[in-house]
Each structure stands twice: as C-alpha cells, then as structure tokens.
Copies of this chain bind each other. A is one copy, B any other.
Amino acid sequence: MGKLWGGRFAGATDALAHRFNASLPFDVQLYDEDITGSVAWALTLGGAGILTADEVATIIGGLEQVRAEFQGNTIVFDQADEDIHTVVERRLTELVGPVGGKLHTGRSRNDQVATDFRLWTMRAVDRLQGHLAALQRALLASARANLELPMPGYTHLQHAQPVTWGHWALSHFWPLARDAGRLAAARAAAAVLPLGSGALAGTPVAVDRQALAAGLGFAAASQNSLDAVADRDFALDFLYAAAVLGVHLSRLAEQLILFSSAEFGFAVLDDAYTTGSSLMPQKKNPDTLELARGKAGRLIGHLAGLLATLKGLPSAYDKDLQEDKEPLFDAAETLELALPVMAGVVGTLRLRPERMAAQLEPGLLATELADYLVRRGVPFRQAHELVGQAVQLAETRQVTLADLSLADMQTISEQFEAGALDVFDVAAALAGRQVMGGTAPQALQQQLAAAEAAVD
C-alpha cells in the first residue's frame, strides 16, 4: 500500500510526477492536526453507528501510537507516501490491520486537509500573538523609561518638530496593536470546520457537524460543502496579516538602523543583536534589523503569490490549492523568529540622549514662532510666510533661526516683538501639545496607560 486511490489505474505514476505531486516534505508539519482530526472523525463514525465501540477504540489507540511515533521521531516513511494523510492512514493500518481502512468512510482528503490546515493556522496565530505582545511590551518598557526624553521629530527625514523617545516608541506600538487585530481576524476565518463536507458534496454519514466543530475547537461548521473544500480565504487572511506585520517591522527596523548609524548616533545596539564583517575589523552591523526589514519582501511575495494561484480557479477542490501551505509555514516561521529578535533589540537598546539633544536645533521650533504671530492676530498663512522669510534670512547668514536678533526679525515684519525670542524652548513646545495623542507630559501618560490596557 502507499496510495489511497490505486484501483482504477492501469499504469504506474511517473517517478518525477510523484515527486512533483508529493506534499509530504512540507505537510508533515500537519501530523498532529491530522491525527487530532482523525480521532474526532473516528468518534463521529462511532456515534453514527458506522464503527463499533471496539473499532473506535482500536483506531484511536492506533492513531495515538502513530502520534507517539511522530513525537518520538521514529516514524518511518514509505517511498509511496504522497502526503501526511497517506502516512497516517498507512501506518495506522499497519498497526491495527484492515479496520484502519474504515476510518476514511464518508471523508475525503479534501475536507480532511482543509480541517488540518485550519487547525494549524489557529495554533500558529496563537503562538504569534504571544510573540507580538512581547514586542509590544518591549516598546512599552522603552517608552515608559524615556517618556519625556526629547528628540527631534522627522517628516520626510528632515527635522520637523520636537517629540520624545516615549512618543516615538509608542508610535511603533500602535501598528502592532492593529496587527493583533488582523491576526485575530485570520484566526476567526480559520475557525470554521470543513470536516463533513466530503470531497465536495457533503458526507452521507449522519453527523452533527456543529458538535464536531465545537469538539475540535472550531467556532462553527461550514455552510456549503463545495465552498468548504475550495475556500482558502483564511490562508490569505493569515498571509495578509503577516505581510502588514512585516511592513511594520520593516519600518521600525529602518528607523533603528538610521538611529544607530554614525551620523545619527541616537542609539547603540547590543552586541547580542549585531554581527561583524569578515574583512573590516571595526564593523558592528545591524544585521538583525536589516533582515527584519528585508523579510517584509518575502512576506509580501507570499501573499501576492497565493492570490495569483487562487485567481481564476474553477469550482471546488483543484490541486492548485496544495500551493497554500508552504507560504504559510514559511511566514509563520519567519515571524516566530523576527518578533522575539526585534523584542530583544528593543529591550537591550542603549539610548544616547546627548546625541539627540545635539540635533535639537532651533529650526525645529519655527512653527512655534509662527504660532507666536498667530497669537498676535496674524492669520496663520501669513505667519507661515513671515517665518519662512526669517528661515531664509538665517540660512543666508549661515546662522540658526535663534541667532537672529529681534531687529533682524523686524526687518521682515513689525509683528515680531520681544516675546518672539522666547519661543525657542523645546520643553515648552512639547508641553504645548496637550491634545490627545500629543507630546505634552500628561498626554503621553494617558497614551501610555491606553497602550498598557490594549496589550493586556
């Protein structure tokens, strides 16, 4: 034995075609889910009177023995095994005899593999949620410890306005909170049981599919047997959540790569998360961050690839669907490493406040000067124009905005008076943005509290 379907075939499968078709090299990862699903199906067949109680006990005993062989790494594969389902049923039958051949009654690999794979996806999400929360907590700890530490804020990678390290760290917390939501949606999409749909038309076995779903930890049973064997939306949802999470990690990584360059110098990566050069002895490279950034590409590719595979497929199960597993396995594995590594990077980062302070030049406060004019009744658009002229004057003289004298400013507008020179105060600028989501200390405290609540 070795195939589940040989009867009607006169000729043997071509050896290369067998390798091309075989999914065992990767779907072996589903062994635990496959056995769990088969145990539930054996009980179902028992409940429907198709298996006797003894047969059920024999089959379940055999299945658990197969599981133990997998766990103990003693399972032996046969050259003819084409997928994990074949291995489990073949080995079961070797162990318990022909009664093993009764297990597949009223079931097809089409509903079986969809069940296994959904169960795997649900478990993968659970693991990733833990890793994601750990990274969020690392960002929270960094934010809490440096909530009011001033640093330059950037737009277009140009100095914009002062922010704080805590504010910055939290700005990378919230995207991850949204990622948790997308992962949860993927899990909910997976938690719909296809088992009982047969190959495409439903099973003739009398089975309460909603009870079966509940028993296996699914939230519901599928509504339509054709859709149940063809639906891979949950796999797309998982890959999509992974791709967006990957993009978020890439943005965090990009920032930390910049911040740990010689030119920025805002942060020093711990040796534990850097590597050296085979040629240049002085190098300490942010490889982990670069990989976190680069792997976003891989995750985007997996999503684009599966979407293309599914596009235009006709009804019910087509073998093209076998292409669903490798991208998910790889995406999960990628993130199960990237997330804890990023948490480690963030958790061991050494900040250099003096380098941040050195970049807090007066140009970052130009908007404060415009706001000063607004408080004196100048329409904002005009205030913006006048301060812009002051910036240009300072640049022409190769001095900072704060180096201009009041007389200099008054050559531009008489609206500038003595108080104008008082605006160049980073702490005041930060404190002035008390709005929800802003940089004032109390606003930051409220945001921190909201973030702590969100991750718990």
Contact = CB atoms under 8 A, between A and B. Distances in A.
A109 B381 CA distance: 13
Contacts of A279: 104, 107-110, 198-199, 367, 384
Interface stretch (A61-69, A120-128, A156-164, A414-422): A156-164
Contacts of A153: 200-201, 226, 315-316
Given A288-B21, A318-B156, A198 B7 contact: no
B251 A310 contact: yes
A206, A318, A401, A437, most chain B CB atoms within 10 A: A437
Closest 5 CB pairs of A and B: A7-B388, A301-B305, A202-B438, A5-B276, A297-B309
A171 B277 contact: no
A315 B171 contact: yes
B4 A199 contact: no
How many copies of the polypeptide does the oligomer hold? 4
Interface string A309-320: 111111111111
A205 interface: yes
A144 interface: no
Given A157-B318, A158-B261, A323-B297, A385 B7 contact: yes
A123 to B, nearest CB: 20
Nearest to A344: B14
A323 B311 contact: no
A439 interface: yes
Interface string A293-334: 111111111111111111111111111111100110000000
Interface stretch (A28-36, A240-248, A403-411): A240-248
B228 A437 contact: yes
A394 to B, nearest CB: 9
A429 to B, nearest CB: 8
B312 A380 contact: no
Would you call the interface of chain A mostly helix, strand, loop, or mixed? helix
B301 A203 contact: no
A271 to B, nearest CB: 3
Nearest to A358: B263
A369 interface: yes
A278 B108 contact: yes
A104 B381 contact: yes
B196 A437 contact: yes
Contacts of A321: 294
A98 B382 CA distance: 8
B434 A206 contact: yes
Contacts of A39: none
A450 to B, nearest CB: 6
A444 B304 CA distance: 35
A109, A293, A359, most chain B CB atoms within 10 A: A293
A234 to B, nearest CB: 9
A440 B436 CA distance: 57
Interface in A171-204: 171-175, 178, 182, 185, 189, 196-204
